[in-house]
């Protein structure tokens, strides 16, 4: 658990949500900063491969998405708030691409574990499209979570362990800063 006050958590309010928003290093870095998120794990999901490796996923032939699995305390942060953060930190209008990361493994997706999460995702997408004037252009898939596999250990906590690495400085760092600026009240102190 990444949250120090884990003894105050109610297991009945813990939920899991899986998000694909490009490179998992970036999304993991942001969500580790969110109050109420008690664990973030980089992984792969919604593909056809059993226990896929990073190298296999990068070929684009496994059907897997680079994702993060969030365990969060819904009494501290709502699914809706997590989704609002998610749509702020990535581009949900580019199919199979986030910046320079290109391939189906970088597609935008919300992989829900219950129908309440699916409904929240659809609502946030509809509102985002209305507010931005991009009606019908969001390509984020909203699907039930299937075939989740944790990524290799060297991908876990990557930004935290490598803050000066080029990709972290150029891509992950600005996403973390954007989250902190926009969602100050949801940032861990």
Residue 76 in any domain: the answer is yes
CB of 50 closer than 8 Å to CB of 68: no
Q: Cβ of 91: how many Cβ atoms within 10 Å?
A: 15
Q: What is the CATH number of the domain that holds 166?
A: 3.30.1060.10
Which residues face 21 on adjacent strands? 108
Residue 116 in any domain: the answer is yes
Q: Which one of 23, 26, 64, 168 is the catalytic residue?
A: 23
Residue 6's pLDDT band (cuts 50, 70, 90): very low
- Structural domain that includes position 150: 6-175
Structural domain total, the chain: 1
Who's near 119: CB < 8 A, 6+ residues apart?
none
The pLDDT value given to residue 132: 77
- Is 23 catalytic? The answer is yes
CB of 111 closer than 8 Å to CB of 19: yes
Residue 187 in any domain: the answer is no
Residue 181 in any domain: the answer is no
pTM: 0.91
Task: Tell me the per-residue pLDDT of 94-134, one tens digit each, with 9 for 90 and over.
Answer: 999 998 899 999 999 999 999 999 999 999 999 988 887 76
pLDDT at 17 over 70: yes
Q: Where are the beta strands (DSSP E) in 6-106?
A: 14-21, 37-45, 65-73, 97-98, 101-102
Cα–Cα distance measured from residue 180 to residue 178, given in angstroms and rounded to the nearest whole number? 6
């Amino acid at each position: 658990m990444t949250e120090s006050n884990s003894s105050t958590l109610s297991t009945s309010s813990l939920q899991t949500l899986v998000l694909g928003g490009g490179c998992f290093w970036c999304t993991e870095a942001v969500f580790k900063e969110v109050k109420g998120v008690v664990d973030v794990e980089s992984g792969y999901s919604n593909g056809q491969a059993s226990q896929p490796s990073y190298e296999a996923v990068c070929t684009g032939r496994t059907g897997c998405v680079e994702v993060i699995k969030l365990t969060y305390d819904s009494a501290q942060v709502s699914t809706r708030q997590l989704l609002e953060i998610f749509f702020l930190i990535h581009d949900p209008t580019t199919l199979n691409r986030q910046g320079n990361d290109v391939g189906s493994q970088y597609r935008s997706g919300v992989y829900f574990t219950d129908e309440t999460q699916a409904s929240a995702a659809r609502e946030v997408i509809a509102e985002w499209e209305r507010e931005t004037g991009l009606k019908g252009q969001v390509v984020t898939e909203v699907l039930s979570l299937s075939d989740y596999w944790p990524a290799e250990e060297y991908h876990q906590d990557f930004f935290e362990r490598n803050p000066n690495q080029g990709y972290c400085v150029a891509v992950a760092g600005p996403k973390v800063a954007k989250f902190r600026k926009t969602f100050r009240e949801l940032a861990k102190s």
